[in-house]
Amino acid sequence: MPDHGRRQIADDSAAGASRNRPLTPPLVLGTANRKKGIELTELLTPLGLEVLTLADCPRAISVAEDGETFAANAALKAALQARHLGQWVLADDSGLCVDALDGRPGVYSARYAGAETTDAENNLRLLEELGQTPPERRTAHYVCHVTLADPSGAIRAEAEEYCHGRILSEYRGTGGFGYDPLFEIVEYHRTFGELSRAVKACLSHRARALRKLLPAIARLARSS
């Protein structure tokens, strides 16, 4: 993975008046996924901000995730939703990249088996595509790009991080969501489906990306 993909892009990148706009609560998480909302809310706890999800916002819109990269999709979800709601929005786009599948499912992770599919159906397609691929060639990594937009829709901070592991040939554990029961952290000999939420909050791609972003969010909140 190239080094430039790991760097945090500087915050306060918006031009004009939005550059000095402070972060005023509530902070809206650009997701209606309950489990992802819980993960993000817990990671933001140290900042003491009031946090909502799209499920708490009746006026929230559906944003098409038609970008070609995780960064593009995160920017769409944050900026368009923020401008529509007139509130600060923190959105992420994340997914699984499998080396033996040339990086698939990638940005299509949530809809790998089709537009309206379940986690179980996506996992089944992944297992079918990998077939009898041996363990040493089932390496993979999760990606998370997280983006913060102010009420004008200007991007104020963003970060990207990764978590490396491999894909098992059978499910283990019932925790987490998405591909977690198949994604093994090799050093722990456990899948994300088996690890506790506390451990996942230390290791996951989403946790790493958000921790990288916390100082920028804190600075913006302190400026209010």
Q: What is the CATH number of the domain that holds 213?
A: 3.90.950.10
Q: Could you confirm whether 180 is annotated as catalytic?
A: no
Asked if residues 104 and 97 have their Cβ atoms less than 8 Å apart, the reply is yes
How many domains is the chain partitioned into structurally? 1
Query: Pick from 93, 110, 187: which is nearest to 145 by CA?
Result: 93
Catalytic residue among 93, 99, 119, 180: 93
The CA distance from 74 to 83, in Å, is 14
- DSSP single-letter state for residue 97: E
Query: Pick from 16, 139, 29, 1: which is nearest to 87 by CA?
Result: 29
The range of the structural domain enclosing residue 116 comes to 3-222
**pLDDT tens per residue, the chain (224 residues)?**
444 343 333 343 434 445 667 898 899 999 988 888 988 999 999 899 999 999 999 999 999 999 999 999 999 999 999 999 999 999 999 999 999 999 999 999 999 999 889 999 999 999 999 999 999 999 999 999 999 999 999 999 999 999 999 999 999 999 989 999 999 999 999 999 999 988 988 999 999 999 999 999 999 987 65
pLDDT in tens, 93-130: 999 999 999 999 999 999 999 988 999 999 999 999 99
